[in-house]
């Protein structure tokens, strides 16, 4: 089946495989919940000691030590009023300490360490292939599938690049605390964006690569055009929606303590048992949309995608054009799954998100497109106009 129904069958088969395998891996890992329980009301009564306050509210001694600045074990017997803190201040500090402790206890640190090590190894391997010009259409699909299986099915929905931004904002908005390991993870992700243009999004993001793989299933074997209608929304539209969505997310978190992404989080396709009917419906629509629009979640909604787009402006390695070899055929812009290669090629407008997929490198007849370090240069004046004039003369 090579027609449209064949595409549908392959996409549905991929979705069923991912969901079924993810459910199986959930039971194999026998994991911690990886979700932070909602804060519960604190009990604070007159005459309480630190020890009774901790026992009544299920606060471990390390939390109490952080909360009250205890220096020795006998401080546990001190009455709360000896610390000269108001009840509101004690409750505020306790809630922050509990929030950090809950974040800490929800993490499977062994799995997180394994995932980061594999991420770094995988991205380094893909970087080498890209630099050597070996990302062919078949290799690209194989790498996307491998990333989806390893970083999604096997290692789960968390952590993710998007989660480092989303959860940090929500936690700070609700509890006014920052979870340091999350900032470290965010720094590592942004470092990969800085070193190689949007590399964690391009090749390591478990939700991103799955969208990309679905999109490629709707393309021809050369991966230079769709076998079904595929659209390239203008960047001004996609980025405007993404900025507005982030603003709404922040407002909902600050004003009402609500995480509007959580119910429809596309990363939960790798944790399907945690999805509601609405979540399953949204992810189904997103998967279908991925056939027609390149990485819809990344372009329209992802908070990390927006942050990463800002950082990629100064990425060390990026897609560049050698205009000495470029014949202005614009095959790269036509084959690019989004509008970004047209912007890179002509340098005449804001450059959208580039996911370093190397499609442009595949189709360039003169190999004038590279993934290399340094600043992009503008095309020589009249470079594309000269090409059009020559075409008109040839036709005449």
Render pLDDT for 135-151 as a digit per residue (tens, 0 to 9): 999 999 999 999 999 99
Residue 393 scores a pLDDT above 50: no
3-class SS string, the chain? CCCHHHHHHHHHHHHHHHHHHHHHHHHHHCCCCCCCCCCCCCCCCCCCEHHHHHHHCCCCHHHHHHHHCCCCHHHHHCEHHHHCCCHHHHHHHHHHHHHHHHHHHCCCHHHHHHHHHHHHHHHHHHHHHHHCCCCCHHHHHHHHHHHHHHHHHHCCCCCCHHHHHHHHHHHHHHHCCCCHHHHHHHHHHHHHHHHECCHHHHHHCHHHHHHHHHHHHCECCCCCCECCCCECCCHHHHHHHHHHHHHHHHHHHHHHCCCCCHHHCHHHHHCHHHCCHHHHHHHHHHHHHCCCECCHHHHHCCHHHHHHHHHHHHCCEEEEECCCCCCCCCHHHHHCCCCHHHHHHHCCCCCCCCCCCCHHHHHCCCCCEEEEECCCCCCCCCHHHHHHHHHHHHHC
Q: At what angle do helices 206-217 and 4-29 cross, to 10 degrees?
A: 160
Q: At what angle do helices 87-105 and 161-175 cross, to 10 degrees?
A: 160
Residue 395 scores a pLDDT above 60: no
Residue 287: per-residue pLDDT: 95
In the CATH hierarchy, which fold is given to the domain comprising 315-395?
Alpha-Beta Plaits (3.30.70)
Band of residue 96 on the pLDDT scale cut at 50, 70, 90: confident
pLDDT 10s digits, 247-290: 999 999 999 999 999 999 999 999 999 899 999 999 999 999 99
CB 217 within 8 A of CB 17: no
Residue 51 buriedness (CB in 10 A; 0-12 / 13-18 / 19+) = middle
Rounded to the nearest 10°, the torsion over CA 308, 312, 313, 315 is 150
**Nearest residue to 233 via CA among 339, 148, 323:** 339
Residue 3: per-residue pLDDT: 78
The overall average pLDDT reported for the chain is 91
Residue 313 scores a pLDDT above 60: yes
Residue 63 scores a pLDDT above 90: no
Residue 239: per-residue pLDDT: 97
Residue 394 scores a pLDDT above 50: no
Residue 198: per-residue pLDDT: 93
pLDDT 10s digits, 149-163: 999 999 999 899 999
Residue 237 scores a pLDDT above 60: yes
Residue 36 scores a pLDDT above 80: no
Q: What are phi and psi of 321, to 5 degrees?
A: -120, 130
CB 197 within 8 A of CB 356: yes
Residue 72: per-residue pLDDT: 86
Domains of the chain: which residue ranges?
4-33+108-309, 50-105, 315-395
How many other CB atoms sit within 10 Å of the CB of residue 194? Answer: 18
Band of residue 392 on the pLDDT scale cut at 50, 70, 90: very low
Mean pLDDT of 316-327: 96
pLDDT 10s digits, 113-128: 999 999 999 999 999 9
Residue 30: per-residue pLDDT: 63
- What percentage of the chain exceeds 70 in pLDDT? 94
Band of residue 194 on the pLDDT scale cut at 50, 70, 90: very high
Residue 285: per-residue pLDDT: 96
CA 199, CA 354: separation in Å to the nearest integer?
9
Residue 327 scores a pLDDT above 60: yes
- Its pTM stands at 0.89
Mean pLDDT of 13-29: 89
CA angle 257-258-262, nearest 5°?
A: 140
CB 88 within 8 A of CB 167: no
CA 379, CA 174: separation in Å to the nearest integer?
49
- What percentage of the chain exceeds 90 in pLDDT? 70
How many other CB atoms sit within 10 Å of the CB of residue 38? Answer: 8
Residue 328 scores a pLDDT above 80: yes
Residue 309: per-residue pLDDT: 96
Quote the tokens at residue 313: 């402006």
CA 183, CA 191: separation in Å to the nearest integer?
12
Band of residue 343 on the pLDDT scale cut at 50, 70, 90: very high
Q: Is the peptide bond before 159 cis (omega within 30 degrees of 0)?
A: yes
Highest averaged pLDDT of the listed ranges 37-41, 171-175, 339-343 = 339-343
């Amino acid at each position: 089946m090579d027609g449209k129904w064949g595409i549908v069958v392959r996409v549905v088969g991929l979705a069923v495989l991912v969901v079924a395998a993810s459910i199986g891996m959930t039971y194999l890992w026998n994991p911690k919940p990886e979700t932070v329980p909602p804060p519960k009301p604190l009990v604070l009564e007159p005459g309480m000691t630190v020890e009774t306050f901790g026992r009544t509210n299920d606060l471990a001694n390390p939390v109490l030590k952080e909360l009250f600045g205890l220096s020795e074990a006998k401080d546990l017997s001190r009455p709360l009023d000896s610390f000269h803190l108001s009840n509101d201040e004690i409750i505020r500090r306790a809630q922050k300490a509990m929030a950090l402790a809950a974040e800490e206890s929800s993490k499977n640190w062994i799995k997180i360490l394994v995932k980061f090590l594999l991420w770094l190894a995988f991205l380094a391997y893909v970087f080498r292939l890209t630099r050597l010009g070996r990302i062919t259409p078949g290799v690209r699909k194989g790498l996307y599938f491998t990333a989806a299986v390893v970083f999604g099915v096997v290692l789960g929905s968390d952590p993710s690049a998007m989660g480092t931004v989303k959860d940090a904002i929500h936690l700070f908005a609700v509890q006014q605390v920052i979870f340091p390991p999350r900032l470290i993870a965010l720094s590592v992700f942004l470092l990969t964006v800085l070193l190689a243009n949007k590399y964690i999004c391009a090749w390591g993001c478990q939700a991103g690569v799955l969208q990309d793989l679905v999109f490629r299933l709707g393309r021809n074997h050369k991966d230079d055009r769709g076998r079904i209608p595929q659209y390239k929304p203008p960047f001004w539209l996609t980025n405007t929606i993404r900025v507005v969505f982030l603003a709404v997310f922040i407002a909902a978190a600050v004003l009402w303590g609500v995480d509007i992404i959580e119910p429809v989080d596309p990363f939960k396709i790798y944790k399907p048992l945690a999805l509601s009917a609405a979540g399953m419906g949204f992810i189904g629509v997103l998967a279908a949309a991925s056939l027609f629009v390149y990485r819809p979640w990344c372009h329209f909604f992802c908070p990390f995608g927006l942050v990463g787009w800002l950082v990629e402006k100064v990425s060390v390695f990026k897609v560049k054009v050698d205009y000495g070899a470029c014949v202005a055929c614009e095959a790269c812009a036509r084959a690019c799954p989004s509008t970004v290669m047209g912007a890179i090629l002509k340098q005449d407008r804001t450059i959208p998100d580039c996911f370093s997929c190397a499609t442009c490198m595949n189709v360039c007849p003169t190999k004038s497109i590279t993934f290399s370090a340094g600043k992009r240069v503008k095309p020589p004046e009249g470079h594309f106009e000269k090409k059009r004039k020559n075409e008109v003369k040839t036709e005449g």
